[in-house]
Chain A
Amino acid sequence: MYKLYTFLKYSFVTLWTMFVVAPFLWALSTSFKDFQSVNSKVTYIPWIDYQPSLEGWKVLIKSPAKGGVDIVEPYFNSIFVTCTASLISIILGTLAAYALSRFTFKAGFVKNNDITFFFISQRIMPPIVLSIPFFIFLSTIGLLDSLIGLVVVYIVLLMPIAVWIMVDFFNRVPKELDETALIDGCNPYQAFYKVVLPNSIPGLIVAGMFCIIFGWIDFFFAFILTFTEVQLLPVKVVALNSSVTPWWSLSASALVSVAPLIIVAFIVERYLSKGNLSGALK
């Protein structure tokens, strides 16, 4: 019985892995092909089925004038916007979450839980609801079609995630830990950054990972709030057209746009496997 279960389990995991990994392998393989290898017959394995070439990758960094698509600038734009917005969201979100977890707020009928829900409700709302207000807001303050404007908008999108994860995390850190720090001579700020923060690194990593993922994959706001000056990677990649840009370049651009997320996943996975994510505090 147990053997059958193990067999089924591994069969399922194997099939699922193939299902998930296959498109990546296919894109990877295609990105090294040239015109001949794509159009003549079905080919899979480099050096055996076809002769790999770097032509598809070179197109990505060539300027449009030379027949390339130049995704370098949007790439760095995306990195800048995602990282800046994630960092600010984590800093603000962590402070907000600590306050919500440790202090009691009351304004009429509004209490801590209501404030927490207010943050999370920003994510419950369909993003399209926010598109017009954001558009008017950014155009009023003159930040439409700019990196800073996008950072501002992304903070609104990402901070609820940080608050949500960190409130939950801080609620599981015993209050006595802060109190002990106070008794041992820390003022409340020192208690926060000398004791609570170093013990919250696992939570910060998880929150940071989610912020980076959600920031990186956003297409909607990047599409609506930018025109010609600034372009983010998702918009650029989606705009590529197979009748102009060859398949091998499309594959390469798809791979470079998911690469950062794969790297983030590997870093976090290493951290997860150390068992450090929950063990520090009981």
Chain B
Amino acid sequence: MNLYANNLTYKLDNEFHLNDISFNFKKGNLYTILGRTLSGKTTLLKTIAGLINPDSGEIQFEEKEFSKIPVWDRNVAMVYQQFINYPHLTVYENVSFPLKQRKLDKEKIKNDVDEALKTVGLIGFENRKIQELSGGQQQRVALARSLAKKAKILLLDEPLVNLDYKLREQLREEFKRIFSRGFAEDTILIYSTTDPQEVMELNGEVMVLDEGKVLQTGPAKEIFENPKNLKVAEISNDPPMNIINGTKINEKINVETININLPNHLSKLENKNYCFGIRASEIKLSNKGEEFEVELAEISGSETLLHLKRGKTKIIALIEEVMNFKIHEKVKIEFNSNKFYVFGDDGKLISSPYGENNG
């Protein structure tokens, strides 16, 4: 009773949108697809919905060949990143549209619509026109429509990306609440996003996608702790993980004339050149640290993103308070070397601070 795909490939204008994608999604689970824009997330969701026919590969649902079933008979629901509703209908008519399409009886439709509107917190808005709602409310209507349908597969394509910061936070919390409520045992929920934080918070099974290819699959925690390679480390962190070229020499790591004491988890490493990965949040300002030059300082909310440079090495540090820096100012920073990742020349993970590498 799974959604199963094998070697899905889709090409448009000689460019791979899906490149040999296989997966096996189980009912009752939440799957997140993480990837940058144009990585093929939307194409994959549309393929599952049936809006795109893959060039090759098979896709099965409940042991039935899915590609032979037209979109309108597939019993899937989808929420787009644009707020797509039927502008000529009221909120109630919008949510009841897929149910009416199935010719359910009026009582049942009313119950299901009320329940869905209650879940998304839009009770009392039934007779409003879509244009009279804010962006967040419009997206709630779209969500309610897909919930009311009680589809077997629920696809959410970057549903929060077009909302402003505050609303995004708020709706993300509600998503967590809606999905965690044992949402439905026989529903497969697939959620695509560019935001690693969303992936971590939703805490489902993650599929990291880049240029139409699956880079890594696994639970959110696993992706966070053991990114298989540099690409995954980059995609699954915001700001992207800092990658520093360095050399391991006995008990030291040498980076741009700085010597860093070798952390315990790297003691077995061969003496060689490596790419060291460190998250922006593991870099701290410290008087004992090494000197870097400030290239740019961005203040966002209660944090400061510090773009730093020393020689050829550029890094980003996340300072958890609002501070003012001058450009070209020298600051001293310290790396939390216990959180060093090590990647080889081929970009593959060699060692992770979270236990022995699995890559």
Residues of A within 8 A of B145 (CB): 184
Residues of A within 8 A of B98 (CB): 184-185
B97 touches A280 (CB 8 A): no
Residues of A within 8 A of B74 (CB): 183
Q: Which of B71, B77, B80, B87 contacts A281 (CB 8 A)?
A: B87
A187 and B50 alpha carbons, distance in the complex (Å): 13
Residues of A within 8 A of B49 (CB): 179, 183
Q: Which of B78, B80, B88, B101 contacts A198 (CB 8 A)?
A: B88
A189 to chain B, nearest CB (A): 11
Residues of A within 8 A of B76 (CB): 183
13 residue pairs bridging A and B, Cβ less than 8 Å apart: A174-B82, A174-B84, A176-B82, A179-B49, A179-B51, A180-B80, A183-B51, A183-B72, A190-B101, A195-B88, A280-B87, A280-B131, A281-B87
Count B-side interface residues using an 8 Å CB cutoff: 25
By beta carbon, the residue of chain A nearest B85 is: A180
Q: Mark B61-75, 1 if CB is under 8 A from A, else 0.
A: 000000000111110
Residues of B within 8 A of A174 (CB): 82, 84
Q: Mark B91-115, 1 if CB is under 8 A from A, else 0.
A: 0000001100110000000000000
Residues of B within 8 A of A179 (CB): 46, 49, 51, 71, 78
A186, CB-defined interface residue at 8 Å: yes
Q: Which of B77, B87, B97, B102 contacts A199 (CB 8 A)?
A: B87
A177, CB-defined interface residue at 8 Å: yes
Q: Mark B215-254, 1 if CB is under 8 A from A, else 0.
A: 0000000000000000000000000000000000000000
A182, CB-defined interface residue at 8 Å: yes
B198 to chain A, nearest CB (A): 21
Given A279-B131, A280-B131, answer yes or no on A183-B78 (Cβ-Cβ < 8 Å).
yes
The DSSP consensus for interface residues of chain A is helix
Which of B46, B76, B101, B145 is packed against the most chain A CB atoms within 10 Å? B101
B84 touches A180 (CB 8 A): yes
B101 touches A184 (CB 8 A): yes
Q: Mark A247-282, 1 if CB is under 8 A from B, else 0.
A: 000000000000000000000000000000001110
A199 touches B84 (CB 8 A): no
B101 touches A186 (CB 8 A): yes
Which of A179, A180, A195, A281 is packed against the most chain B CB atoms within 10 Å? A180
Residues of B within 8 A of A280 (CB): 87-88, 131
Q: Which of A176, A182, A184, A187 contacts B97 (CB 8 A)?
A: A184
Q: Mark B108-136, 1 if CB is under 8 A from A, else 0.
A: 00000000000000000000000100000
Residues of B within 8 A of A181 (CB): 86
B149, CB-defined interface residue at 8 Å: yes
B163 to chain A, nearest CB (A): 15
B141 to chain A, nearest CB (A): 12
